[in-house]
């Protein structure tokens, strides 16, 4: 199994999530060197998988021979018709589909709370979705998917995590994702589930390098 995987993100929260899940397997997670100086990839795909593949393929060209992991993930809320979906990181923007940069986490959360105002708890079902794409030298080798089912609270809880974690209540353990340690979150989260699927693929893919 390849012992180092480069992740196409500058988000420290995502890096922590991946590192926490990878540690028991002896895999080192690192950011792509000088990632912030690379040309950004426009995430204009209609699905999480399309965006993940696009990012993995593009960024893997910057690090020849390396295994590059990219993800696209977000929150789907049933009462909002699946929104914010692929626009999760930019949901607070006036036109999320056209926004060129991510919005502030608190602003994204605030919009979700506004749109769910008056919606009863039993209709606040939601899920986190994560699709990972693995690429090397511009070619996608595999994609995997993970989900976590929960509901959206009326107010944030917890100081850990990032994104919508303070609003996402996970009934199985009676806490929000922002109330979990990195190790706990990797056990229950959509990203953890997708990453375990990636690790299973790694174990049988006969990778070299």
Sign of CA dihedral 101, 107, 110, 111: negative
- And the tokens for 166? 């303070």
Domain membership of residue 127 as a residue range: 4-204
* CB-based contact 46:86 (threshold 8 Å): yes
Query: Is residue 209 situated within a structural domain?
Result: no
Q: How many domains does the chain have?
A: 1
Query: Is residue 24 situated within a structural domain?
Result: yes
- And the tokens for 83? 């929104």
Spatial separation of the C-alpha atoms in residues 1 and 208, rounded to whole Å: 7
β-strand pairing of 139-152 with 168-170: antiparallel
Neighbouring CB atoms inside 10 A of 162's CB total: 15
Count Cβ atoms within 10 A of the Cβ of residue 17 and give its class: 0-12 exposed, 13-18 middle, 19 or more buried.
buried
Query: Is residue 155 situated within a structural domain?
Result: yes
Query: Is residue 27 situated within a structural domain?
Result: yes
pTM of the model: 0.86
Query: Is residue 182 situated within a structural domain?
Result: yes
* CB-based contact 148:127 (threshold 8 Å): yes
pLDDT at 156: 96
Residues acting as catalytic residues:
72
Q: Specify the CATH number for the domain of residue 143.
A: 3.90.950.10
Alpha-carbon separation of residue 46 from 53, 54, 91 (angstroms):
12, 12, 15
β-strand pairing of 28-31 with 68-77: unpaired
Query: Is residue 26 situated within a structural domain?
Result: yes
Question: pLDDT below 70 — which residues of the chain?
Answer: 1-2, 98-100, 206-209
């Amino acid at each position: 199994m390849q012992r180092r995987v480069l992740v196409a993100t500058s988000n420290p929260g995502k890096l922590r999530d991946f590192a926490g899940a990878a540690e028991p397997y002896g895999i080192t997670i690192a950011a792509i060197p000088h990632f912030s100086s690379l040309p950004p990839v426009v995430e204009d795909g209609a699905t999480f998988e399309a965006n993940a593949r696009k990012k993995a393929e593009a960024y893997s060209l910057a690090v020849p021979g390396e295994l590059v992991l990219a993800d696209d993930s977000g929150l789907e809320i049933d009462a909002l018709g699946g929104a914010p979906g692929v626009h999760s990181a930019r949901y607070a923007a006036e036109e999320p589909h056209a926004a060129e940069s991510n919005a502030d986490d608190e602003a994204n959360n605030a919009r979700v709370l506004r749109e769910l105002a008056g919606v009863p708890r039993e209709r606040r079902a939601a899920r986190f979705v994560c699709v990972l794409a693995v690429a090397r030298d511009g070619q996608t080798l595999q994609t995997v998917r993970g989900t976590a089912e929960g509901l959206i609270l009326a107010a944030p809880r917890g100081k850990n995590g990032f994104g919508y974690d303070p609003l996402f209540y996970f009934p199985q353990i009676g806490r929000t994702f922002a109330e979990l340690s990195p190790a706990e979150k990797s056990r229950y989260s959509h990203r953890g589930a997708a990453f375990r699927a990636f690790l299973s693929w790694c174990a049988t893919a006969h990778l070299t390098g």
